[in-house]
Amino acid sequence: MDRSILVMWNSNAGSTDQAQALLEQLKGDARVKIHSPEGDQEAINYVKEAATEFDAVIAAGGDGTVNTTVNGLAASKAESPIMGVLPLGTANDLSFTLSTPPQLERWLALMLDQSIQQDKNFVRPCDIIQTKTKDGVSYFANVATGGNSDRVTEQMTNEIKQQWGALAYLRGALDVLQDLKGFELVVQFDEEEAFDCTAWNVIVANGRACGGHLLVAPQASLEDGLIDVMIIRDGTSIDLASLTAQLFLSDYLLSEQVIYRQVKQFKVSSDPPLRFSADGNLLPESSVSFEIQASRIRVLVGPEYVRKPPKTTRSSAV
């Protein structure tokens, strides 16, 4: 029996010639239903209601499209269909951890293959992270950032994305780096005692990359049942230069300026208020709690997918 497939197509991300070719490829498959949502909440509700009707859901767009698809699947009480990602956005960061091949026509054909959808090498359990704020509950699958990194996200206008493409996040960071803010945090890992610290940035990760495939959580796994938390303490301009160099060498977790933990729960409040961007979704400026939802969904991964990345040797102390 043919397996039915829902494609959540972001029409704003599908303006290139390649995107149009992919759209025609989808239209040529009788098992596929294509839906272009009118807004985030409509997308979440559509996926939630459609979850019982389809065997797979493909998020065709950027990180925002992936985020609404994840929230729709998480809200459904039915067994979730398999989620695939067709990366058509600016950053496409979850695709980095999923090891999506760059040849998108071939990747799409692979996702549509019924045998692949039943192959455990390509279909993997995936954790997601639940957030609780004053406005309620939401979910994300990749990375939430708060502090100065969130200020970069606020710089991301559609004009900058169109003009700078994959370098848009670097362009947005230029103004922010000239005026870094320090945030007074109260944080708690799992059921441990809460503590205070001053930080430039907080990164809460399930996937490994954000900001256009920048490796911010090199030890994160989508299926280990843990949240990777990186708190970047504030410091001097020399500290910033050193930390930036280590980041591009993928060993910044070894810095004494970084508090790094793998936990199941993480709570944080801040003065001034810290606003998180979770896979492009801006959370309200309030206290936030993060909790892992182990193996909540299933995802299609590429042939080079890494289940458990190698570990560093240092465990950061508070």
pLDDT digits (tens, 9 = 90+) for 143-185: 999 887 655 555 544 453 444 333 333 334 444 445 677 889 9
Structure-token pair, residue 184: 């007074």
Question: What is the pLDDT, as a whole number, of residue 153?
Answer: 52
Residues of the chain with CATH 3.40.50.10330: 5-126
| Best-predicted range by mean pLDDT (4-18, 32-46, 234-248) | 32-46
What b/e sequence results for 70-97 when a residue is b if at least 16 CB atoms lie within 10 Å of its CB, and e otherwise? bbbbbbbeeebbbbbbbbbbbbbbbbbb
pLDDT class for 236, splitting at 50, 70, 90? low
Phi, psi (deg, nearest 5) at residue 273: -55, 140
Question: What is the pLDDT, as a whole number, of residue 244?
Answer: 58
Q: Indicate if the pLDDT at residue 139 is higher than 90.
A: yes
Q: Indicate if the pLDDT at residue 240 is higher than 70.
A: no
Over residues 282-306, the mean pLDDT reads 93
Question: What is the pLDDT, as a whole number, of residue 292?
Answer: 98
**Could you name the CATH architecture of 132-294?**
Sandwich (2.60)
Any idea what the Cα angle at residue 120 is, between residues 27 and 250, rounded to 5°? 90
Question: What is the pLDDT, as a whole number, of residue 238?
Answer: 47
Question: What is the pLDDT, as a whole number, of residue 13?
Answer: 72
Q: Distances in Å between the alpha carbon of 7 and those of 24, 32, 35, 245, 286?
A: 13, 7, 6, 40, 34
Question: What is the pLDDT, as a whole number, of residue 264?
Answer: 98
Higher pLDDT among residues 193 and 232, named by residue = 193
Question: What is the pLDDT, as a whole number, of residue 3?
Answer: 67
Residues 32-59 have pLDDT tens digits of 999 999 999 999 999 999 998 999 999 9
Question: What is the pLDDT, as a whole number, of residue 171?
Answer: 37
For all residues of the chain together, what is the average pLDDT? Answer: 84
Question: What is the pLDDT, as a whole number, of residue 26?
Answer: 94
Higher pLDDT among residues 265 and 201, named by residue = 265
**CATH number, span 5-126:** 3.40.50.10330
Tell me the H-state helices in the chain: 17-27, 40-50, 63-75, 93-98, 104-112, 148-154, 158-164, 168-177, 237-248
Higher pLDDT among residues 78 and 24, named by residue = 24
